[in-house]
Amino acid sequence: MKPPIRTTRFSRLIVAKTGWLALGLALFSGCSVGPRYARPLAPPASAFKEVPPDWKTAQPVDFAAKGIWWEVFQDRQLNSLENRVNVSNQTLKASESQFAQARDLVRVNRSSYYPNVSAGASVQRVHVSTDRPNGQFTSVTNYNDFQLPVDVSYEVDVWGRVRHTVQQARANAQASAGDLESVRLSLHAELALDYFQLRALDAEAELLDSTVVTFQKALELTQNRYQGGVSSQVDVAQAQTQLETTRAQAIDVRVQRAQLEHAIAVLTGQVPADFSIPALPLTATPPVVPPGLPSDLLERRPDIAAGERRMAAANEQVGIATAAYYPTISLSATGGFESTSITNWFTGPAGFVSAGASAVETLFDAGRRHALTDQAKSAYDESVANYRETVLGAFQEVEDNLAALRLLEDEAKTEQAAVESAQHSLDLSNNRYKGGVTTYLEVLTAQSTALSDQRTLVQIAGRRMTASVSLIKALGGGWQASSLPSAQDLSSTTSPVSSTGGP
């Protein structure tokens, strides 16, 4: 049997020298290879082109700072529904779990900063063959072997591979937090869009229902005139067609409303069969939403912040790939107790210890490291392009909705004038028809025009509200890049992201 290594003066000297070596390597590990990260410049913009003149001096309101931007519409039903999204929406819960995974991965990578310590115990009963080579030098053929070893291994982060890995994980976790807030913002905005579209359909259904009543009376009038020999059967058929067509349109509006109601139920985490929203026609007008400066948009949009963090993560990957060109330096130590009897297991003579250091360098890999470095650099360039495209897309969304609000306001005024004119034309046609001056075709044409203009006016009102919601979403919904979790937040075991409207 090979005797265990004893803690002699020589072995203690080895351990001491190894300790000094570890200290020197730890001090030397302050250096790091790879490029330093600097945030690339985004496409510049001095001002939004589509901002109406009277909005330039507007200041942000309190709802933006709180993240509960939907309260600006002052609709209790909407506020109640929006509050359910943070609690019950399953898509949001999935995104929160994805962020939790990214945050946990930071802790996984941070563990590489510290040594890996393992311990175990083994008990063996050994019978040695007497016919083994050199077996004549011992007469012991049966013995016990009790071992209690402790192993310590540590990779010295001389070239910054571990640091780059941790920084990459942190940047990815912060990007995941941005993704979470993008999902949260999108879900709240989608609910508001569906809600105002539903209210617009309620107004449209109310209009069609009242029009059906009017057309029903017109049909009765035409039937009476036909029975009196004043009107033809063609007039009756035309009035009947107009009535049934309008009824069909009212039914179609209710189909759309039912689908929106079901969508809202799912967004709030409820079964559509157990959910309903009472009909209430849309009467609200869009609130004034100050867009601020284009440069502020870079700090307001969670998707832009997530894109910027992905650039940082890609930059760290370049550092990781570069560190592979340098040797991997590791320290290791093993110590413990070994004895043939458990009674003297923890005595001094039963102790053993060994320590050492190693450095491994790849001499030939057929260009693998070079290819991985080039791949990391290309991935970084891709992330920069994606970031700038996200910024450009954000500018476009804001401009689109600013233009929509400005132009739809003008369109609403023009359409209101058209509605009033169409109604006046219809009144004149009805009087002419009742007086026997014209046929029912003129009344029918005036009815169609008036109804079309009225429906268009209602639809414009809905589009103005949805454009207002889309503008708030394009502006980030009151979110700020400073709300991203810090390195300390990511290292904790509790989530730094709130479930009540933002980080």
Q: What CATH number does the domain containing 269 carry?
A: 1.20.1600.10
Helix then strand count (H, E) for the chain reads 11, 5
State the 10-residue block means of pLDDT for the chain, 503 residues long.
Answer: 42 48 49 81 78 53 65 93 93 94 93 90 80 60 83 89 92 94 95 97 96 93 88 90 95 97 96 94 88 84 93 94 91 86 76 87 91 94 94 93 93 96 93 86 92 96 96 90 85 58 41
Identify whether 222 is part of a domain.
yes
Angstrom distances, CA of residue 432 to CA of 1, 8, 448: 123, 122, 17
The predicted pLDDT at position 137 comes to 53
The predicted pLDDT at position 483 comes to 85
Identify whether 193 is part of a domain.
yes
The predicted pLDDT at position 369 comes to 92
Angstrom distances, CA of residue 72 to CA of 13, 77, 192, 287, 289: 74, 13, 12, 7, 9
Place of tokens 């519409």: 73
Identify whether 266 is part of a domain.
yes
Nearest CA to 219 out of 462, 480, 444, 481 is that of: 444
Identify whether 331 is part of a domain.
no
Identify whether 86 is part of a domain.
yes
Q: Is residue 456 within 8 Å of residue 207, measured between CB atoms?
A: no
Identify whether 355 is part of a domain.
no
Maximum C-alpha span of the chain: 137
User: What range defines the domain where residue 466 resides?
Assistant: 31-126+143-326+361-491
| Domain count along the chain | 1
